[in-house]
Amino acid sequence: MPLSVEHRRAGHIAVVACTGRLVEGVEMIALQRTLDELLVFGPYLVLHLGGVEFVDSAGLGLLVRYSARTRNAQGSMKLCAASPKLTAVLKVTRLEQIFNVYESESEAIAAFYEPSSSGDGGSHIRADILCVVSSVDVQAYVREMLGQNGYAVLTTGNLPDAVTLMQAVKPKLVVVSADLRRARGTHAAQKFSRLVDSLTVIELPPDFSHLDAGDAGRTLLEQVRAAGLAS
């Protein structure tokens, strides 16, 4: 099965899910191209390898190279959900000693925010505000606008990642779109609702993405400051 690669962002972290064969050739080139594009935005990667059915020496070498590349950039690449076969390969080659391997995506993401003295991309990532909104463009706007005003902001577009980030980072304030704030019916939605109930929450209006950018930004910034959050 040819390798397929999907990715999303959870805060500062790029989560990359691979399915198929990680072998030398077009498959490896596709993954390398994706990783190169993602690393432009920061050296924090999670590779979900649960769907990888076979890896050759070149494919494993690519993982080694990108692990070293993120470390050299003061970040880290973590693996998760590796199959028993891939786990056995890492063990027999002793490469498990250079990778951070976790059972699930949520554990791998949370590990970036745990206190660490090893320089593997841990405790130096901070966040005052978590923004949870489906639109990647709105995420980018809120993150950069509030960032330029002195706030450390993490963004995500789905509730499972929001729950993971809230538990790991413990933000002081949550900015959330109206639809996700009212979402119910899933375990992640219910858990998110319980967590935000104990925090200061700013709910973006349903038409936020269509409002004048200047007016929308000023209003949001005023709400953040009114919440008592110092920049």
Give per-residue pLDDT as tens, 39-83. 999 999 999 999 998 999 999 999 999 999 999 999 999 999 998
Model confidence at 230, pLDDT cuts 50, 70, 90, reads confident
The answer to whether 205 touches 175, Cβ cutoff 8 Å, is no
**In order of start, what are the domains of the chain with their CATH numbers?**
4-111 (3.30.750.24), 129-226 (3.40.50.2300)
Whole-number pLDDT of residue 116:
60
Tens-place pLDDT, residues 89-143: 989 888 888 888 999 999 999 999 886 645 554 445 678 999 999 999 999 999 9
Q: Determine the distance from the C-alpha atom of residue 189 to the mean position of all C-alpha atoms in its chain, rounded to a whole number.
A: 18
Whole-number pLDDT of residue 121:
47
Whole-number pLDDT of residue 223:
96
First and final CA of the chain: distance in angstroms?
Answer: 50
Locus of tokens 């691979």: 18
Nearest Cα to Cα of residue 108 among 189, 171, 170, 165 = 165
Residue 211, C-beta contacts closer than 8 angstroms, at least 6 positions apart: 205
Whole-number pLDDT of residue 201:
96
Tell me the average pLDDT of the chain. Answer: 91
In the chain, the percentage of residues whose pLDDT exceeds 70 is: 95
C-alpha to C-alpha distance for 141 and 137, rounded to whole angstroms? 6
Q: Walk across the sheet containing 44-55 and list its strands.
A: 100-102, 76-80, 44-55, 13-22, 4-10, 153-156, 129-132, 173-177, 200-204
For the chain, give percent helix, strand, coil, nearest 5: 45, 25, 30
pTM: 0.84
Lowest mean pLDDT among 7-11, 23-27, 104-108, 138-142: 23-27
pLDDT > 90? residue 228: no
The answer to whether 191 touches 216, Cβ cutoff 8 Å, is no
- What's the one-letter identity of residue 189? A
Model confidence at 8, pLDDT cuts 50, 70, 90, reads very high
Whole-number pLDDT of residue 110:
93
Residue 171, C-beta contacts closer than 8 angstroms, at least 6 positions apart: 127, 128, 129, 130, 154, 165, 199
Collapse the DSSP code of 116 into the 3-class scheme (helix H, G, I; strand E, B; otherwise coil) and give the result.
coil
Nearest Cα to Cα of residue 119 among 104, 135, 100 = 100
More confident residue, 26 or 38: 38
